[in-house]
Structure 1
Amino acid sequence: MNPLVSRERPAEALLALEDGTVYRGRSAGAGGEAFGEIVFNTSMAGYQEIVSDPSYAGQIVTLTYPQVGNYGVSAAAMQSGGLALSGLVVRDMCREPSNWQIEGSLTDLLRKGGVVAIEGVDTRALTLRIRSAGAMRAAISTEDLDPRSLVARVCKAPGISSHNFVPDVSTAQEYVVPAAGERRFRVVAYDCGEKRGIADGLAAVGCETVVVPWDTPARRVLALGQDGAAPDGVFFSNGPGDPTQVEATAQAARELMGKVPVFGICLGNQLMALAAGATIEKLPFGHHGGNEPVMNLLTGRVEITAQNHNYGLVFESLGSIVPEESGGFAEHERDLRAWSERHVAPVVMNERFGRVRLTHVNLNDGTPEGVQFLDVPAFSVQYHPEACPGPHDSAYLFTSFARLMAGDLDCLDIDVREGRRF
């Protein structure tokens, strides 16, 4: 028997949703109870990167791929220093993984991290339920196995918007991540739950990154460049929960945009939108997985992307369409796939920051996936160019940020794989 895994008989567990649906299964992690918002992730691999992603704080994650844990876990795959998700739901947990890099099993990692998990659930049926009813409050328990009791307690539990999860996962103090090779830029990154893959992406394009807590004042950031000068750029990271709860970071974005080049990913995109006075909406069941098709409206290329969010920008709330810069069109489209069909990247006039261009659109549901501020050096995307896990079609965005800091305002219409401008 593999000495890194255990064959003890798992305890019974119960999963309950606020709509009254219940699933019985077996414990696949720590014992106890976990309450949170239930979502599903469609990735076929990368379970360790998923469970160690700080953006899942406050959520119970359902993995749609049937067998999970078969290649074990290793320290190199961790995306943070611990596990922030509330719970995990799988169909079949492999308790005897095999991999030459194995350092333990996923079950052991969940137990050490205090994460309650359940296996033996029909995750296909559960995913269809979430797609139909939307993301819901839920609970996993190895203690309360009475369906009526657990459902009643779920219905009394607070929703995800009632708490700011960012302070729970942000760094407590500043630290520096060196560039990989020659240092070209000094960047300050707001850690709202930043994945290690993002830090690696910044380092790969020559960024020495000073990582700061989520609520660091803008004036402090502007003094963190070389010899006390302003930094070459500022980055706003991914993170968990409702972006309207993260007002301190949104205020910092409001003060920094226009003073230094700015790049945002996922929650960072939402916070930059809030800084511009835009509206954020909650999506029915969010985007979680590694196979979301996104069109770059500036190049016409479709990127297969990794995503993890339940909230998104309402593009029309940024301002009115500027027809002369939007192919002559004057009206907003609720389904933004209309712009991809027209091969037009529309521009709006924002009261605070001037012109803003829609750069990326989700081809599954027509939601906005990226914007560029044309009158201040800033852009952001809703998805994860660093992947971890997922495809690397969008890794060029780190190079785009480097180009922006170097003064190239047309940084998004360059295909770095072919080295040419569209």
Structure 2
Amino acid sequence: MNLLVNTEGCREALIALEDGTVLRGRGFGAPGEAFGEIVFNTSMVGYQEIVTDPSYAGQIVTFTYPQLGNYGITSTDAQSERPRLRGVVAHDVCRTPSNWQCVQSLPDYIAQSGVVGIEDVDTRALTLRIREAGAMRAAISTVDLDPKSLLSRVRSSAGIGDHNYVADVSCDGPRVVHARGEERHHVVAYDCGMKEGIVEHLAQAGCEVTVVPWDTPAEDALALHPDGVFFSNGPGDPTSVPHVPDAVRTVLGKLPVFGICLGNQMIALAAGGSIQKLPYGHHGGNEPVMNLLTGRVEVTAQNHNYGVVFPSLGRLVPELSGGVAEHPADGDLRAWSRARIAPVVRNERYGRIRLTHVNLNDGTPEGLQFLDVPAFAVQYHPEARPGPNDSAYLFESFARLMDGRDDYLAIDVREGRCR
């Protein structure tokens, strides 16, 4: 594919994918080059939250919505102090936004952080290529405009799993975020690339949150005498991140534990489970997920390329899994949603683990609940920054788990919606 767009007054740019796809467009943001793993995001709004989400470190994000930047950048919507992704791909970018809260245009905003962008490319065709070939190495360049040269350099670049991106985006030292209203609990939150919206929701649930760096020894976290421990979202391949599974193993069984996204994967690794890379991941604000405990379907915000392999956590317990003794042969967990069963496996380390949430698009696992130790986790982002509010109840679930309630996950989605 080769789309000629060299608009007068704007620098020409190329984007190359390792499968040989090369698109020509025009640059915006910072001049230069960006190498990373290319993915696509299907959200229609919330581009500021997306470009500042630390989970995108090491990645180039293609926005499927055709126009980007219409309402500019606000002073309140960022999920970290600056953009964290490697590059931005768009069809049409607005340089003159209109919004009473706007303080800056999107091109100027990403340029300040050295983020390279390319527009005037066919993002529909590009998204189809990623769906067909999977997430892959890619590059955007405004300096190397030779397709063969750029493609060769892409194919020799490092993969997303070759680097620990969590270490790049975690905080440098502890900080405290006070509870909003009456304080119910004190939580230590491991910052593996945590979004500000997650911290805010924990605080809104009545938690004083002590945020600590990703590599904090579990003994140091326990010395703070928290009521619970939280493991956050974050970027990259979870198997390239040391220390965190060890911290999970140390605290599981001692205190209530909650994990989101990368935190979910870390909890599974701590339990001896395995992780798989999804073909092109889940990135957007419209992923349907069934809560197997309530039968409710939640429309969720997600951002991950890796997921837990549920059968790797143990063999099914038939008497707790509707009489079923074998995992689905095709790995599609939607059979459990159709049967309205939340299956349970026997784990060698932590006893019984229940599957609580299933993705209705592809049948991948989206939530786990430990039945013999106080812990649960989900693969998606319930804080909705950006995205729908259907899963915001999970922060209240964590508070109820720390209260000692057994029914902490059985909350109707309507109870937890943001007000």
TM-score normalised by the chain length of structure 2: 0.96
**Which residue of structure 2 aligns with residue 204 of structure 1?**
204
Deviation for aligned residue 1:75: 1.8
Q: Is the 8 A contact 1:18 1:155 kept in 2?
A: yes
User: Which residue in the other structure is 2:188 paired with?
Assistant: 188
8 Å CA contact 1:14–1:145 kept in 2: the answer is yes
Matched residue, 1:389: 386
Task: Write out aligned runs for 1:65-76 (5 A).
Answer: 65-76=65-76
What corresponds to 1:258 in structure 2?
253
Work out the CA distance in 1 between the residues paired with 2:71 and 2:8: 19
CA distance in 1, matches of 2:85, 2:95: 20
Aligned to 2:286: 291
Cα deviation 1:203-256 (Å, max 9, x = unaligned) = 00100000000000010000112xxxxx10000000000001112111100111
Partners in 1 of 2:401 and 2:159 — Cα distance? 39
Query: Deviation string for 1:370-392 (max 9, x for gaps)?
Result: 00000000000000000100000
Which blocks of at least 5 consecutive residues in structure 2 are unaligned?
A: 1-6
Contact 2:187–2:227, Cα closer than 8 Å, also in 1: yes
Q: Deviation per CA, 1:176-229, whole angstroms, max 9, x where unpaired? A: 01101111100000000000000011000100000000000010000112xxxx
- Matches of 1:307 and 1:90, distance apart in 2: 20
Contact 2:296 2:413 in 1 (8 A): no
Q: Does the aligned pair in 1 maintain the 2:16–2:154 contact within 8 Å?
A: yes
In 1, Cα distance between the equivalents of 2:242 and 2:33?
Answer: 30
Structure 1's consecutive aligned runs of 4 or more residues displaced over 6 angstroms after TM superposition are: none
Measured against aligned partners, the alpha-carbon deviations of 1:292-327 in whole angstroms (never above 9, x if no partner) come to 000000000000000000000000000000000111
Looking at structure 1, the residues matched to 193 and 179 of structure 2 have their Cα atoms a distance apart, in angstroms, of: 20
TM-score (norm 1): 0.96
Give the structure 1 partner of residue 55 of structure 2: 55
Q: CA deviation at 1:409?
A: 2.3
Q: Which residue of 2 aligns with 1:90?
A: 90
Give the AA of the match of 1:83: P
Long gaps (5+) in structure 1: 1-6, 226-230
Superposition map of 1:125-140 within 5 A = 125-140=125-140
Percent identity reads 71
1:103 and 1:8, CA in 2 relative to 1: closer, same or farther beyond 3 A? farther
Aligned match of 1:33: 33
Task: Name the aligned partner's letter for residue 334 of structure 2.
Answer: R
Q: Superposed, which structure 2 residues align to 1:312-351 within 5 Å?
A: 312-333=307-328, 334-351=331-348
Residue in 2 that maps onto 1:402: 399
1:373 corresponds to which residue?
370
Answering whether residue 169 of structure 2 is matched by residue 174 of structure 1, we say: no
Amino acid at match of 1:322: V
Counterpart Cα distance in 2 of 1:224 and 1:273:
25
* Cα distance, 1:418 vs structure 2: 5.2
Equivalent position of 1:3 in the other structure = none
* Conservation of the 8 A alpha-carbon contact between 1:52 and 1:83: yes
Q: Deviations over 1:243-274 (max 9, x none)?
A: 01112111100111110000000000000000
Q: Could you tell me how far apart the structure 1 residues matched to 2:173 and 2:316 are?
A: 42
Matched position secondary structure for 1:355: strand
Number of matched pairs: 408
What's the secondary structure of 1:83's corresponding residue?
Answer: coil
* Alpha-carbon shift at residue 410 of structure 1 (Å): 2.0
Q: Who is 2:64 aligned against?
A: 64
- Cα shift at 1:416: 6.0
CA contact (8 A) 1:377 1:409 kept: no
Distance 1:9 1:398 in 2: 49
- Corresponding letter in the other structure for 1:358: L
Distance 1:416 1:147, change over 3 A: closer
**2:249 aligns to what SS in structure 1?**
helix
Deviation readout 1:111-137 (Å, 9 max, x if unpaired): 001100000010000000000000010
Q: CA deviation at 1:417?
A: 2.9
Write the distance in 2 (CA, Å) between the matches of 1:261 and 1:112. Answer: 41
**SS of alignment partner, residue 414 of structure 1:** coil
**Residues 296 and 412 of structure 2 are in contact (CA less than 8 Å); yes or no, is this contact kept in structure 1?**
no
The equivalent of 2:262 in structure 1 is 267
Does the 8 A contact of 1:39 with 1:61 survive in 2? yes
2:152 counterpart letter in structure 1: A
The C-alpha deviation readout for 1:11-68, integer Å capped at 9, x for no partner, is 1110000011001111111000000000000000000000000000000000000000
CA distance in 2, matches of 1:256, 1:62: 38
Q: How many Å separate the matches in 1 of 2:181 and 2:300?
A: 27
What is the match of residue 412 of structure 2? 415
Hey, what's the Cα distance between the residues in 2 that align with 1:217 and 1:351? 24
Aligned-pair CA distance for 1:414: 2.2
1:279 aligns with 2:295: no
Q: Which residue of 2 aligns with 1:11?
A: 11
